[in-house]
Structure 1
Amino acid sequence: MATAIKKSSGSGSNKLGKLILGLLLVVLITGASVAGTYFFLQKSGVLGPVMADGSVETRAPIAPLPAPIFASLEPFTVTLHDERTTRILYLAITLRLVDEHSRTMVTEYMPEVRDRVLRLLSVQNPSYIQTPEGREKLVQDLTQLLQRPYLPQPRGPEISAVLFTAFVVQ
């Protein structure tokens, strides 16, 4: 009977030893996994460049981008002539400008800006400007036309995009 008691108490400490060994193994594997991940992220530069002393250089926060500068033109209604028909073009344009000086220039010279746009729109072919290629060509032509200087200014406004906010051909 004495031997039976020894076996049962040895069996309990054996189970406890296996449990501790299992927990130790889990902690060891988890630690190795975290260390390996940190090592590879640091080497790849995700965590930032590594300094000569082994410390990680933190990046300065990125400066916020400036707000976009837009100038809306009142909508245009133009009669377009085709070989067979007469069509009406209704077009609203917004200009995206590079700087505040360009917005001021467009605002100050608005009558001339509108005149240039109207003259260009009135010679368009209604079938062609309804195609994607035609609209893209119109954007390019408007950009070049509106960036030319407005006398007596030595240079014109800097336009980064011509945006159509309404485009209807009837």
Structure 2
Amino acid sequence: MAESSGGPKKLLWVMIILVLLSSAGAAAAIYMVMDQRDDNPGEAAEETAERQPPVFLTIEPFTVNLADDRQGTRLLYAGITLRVEDEETRDLLEQHMPQLRSRLLTILSGQEAGSLTSSQGKQQLASNIKARLSEPFDEDQPPLRLSEVLFTEFIVQ
């Protein structure tokens, strides 16, 4: 039989080298994961800094006569809250509240009771209100940043 030169010693050295290489690979992977985590907090902080609480403008509820239909005179009692993008838009709407309420009364009184009882009718009304209120009140007014029209009370009688 032929004698092998250092068989068990070679195997031991190969095992040690493999353990060291795998440890180095694991350390590199951990470093890369930790390095990515360090980059994300800055981005997350920027995102949270950009997020601001929503700005709402609550309008006193309306009671209006609806357009005549087959059932005679019908009433709508509606509470509306506007979600706006910033305080500047909110302040501008508050300054023009009489004009805003007049526009809302015009829109609401032109509705028919039958169209307002469905959710699709309410969504259409909300989009009509948003479009009408987005129109400028004055010639030199900055554009209004109106996000959403919310119905907080809605009764058709």
> 2:128 corresponds to which residue?
141
For 1:97 and 1:123, locate their aligned partners in 2 and report how far apart those are by CA, in whole Å: 25
> 2:73 corresponds to which residue?
86
CA contact (8 A) 1:93 1:166 kept: yes
> 2:141 corresponds to which residue?
154
Correspondence 1:9-28 to 2 at 5 A: none
> 1:56 corresponds to which residue?
35
CA contact (8 A) 1:139 1:162 kept: yes
RMSD, matched Cα: 2.4
For 1:166 and 1:119, locate their aligned partners in 2 and report how far apart those are by CA, in whole Å: 18
Ranked by relative contact order (alpha carbons within 8 Å, sequence separation 6 or more), the top structure is: 2
Label 1:117 to 1:156 Cα distance change in 2 as closer, same or farther (>3 A): farther
Cα distance, 1:141 vs structure 2: 0.1
- Structure with the higher helix share, 1 or 2: 2
- State the identity as a percent: 33
Which structure: larger Rg? 1
Where do 5+ consecutive residues of structure 2 fail to align? 1-21
> 1:128 corresponds to which residue?
115
TM-score by length of 1: 0.66
For 1:150 and 1:66, locate their aligned partners in 2 and report how far apart those are by CA, in whole Å: 26
TM-score by length of 2: 0.71
Q: Aligned to 2:52, which of 63, 66, 83? A: 66
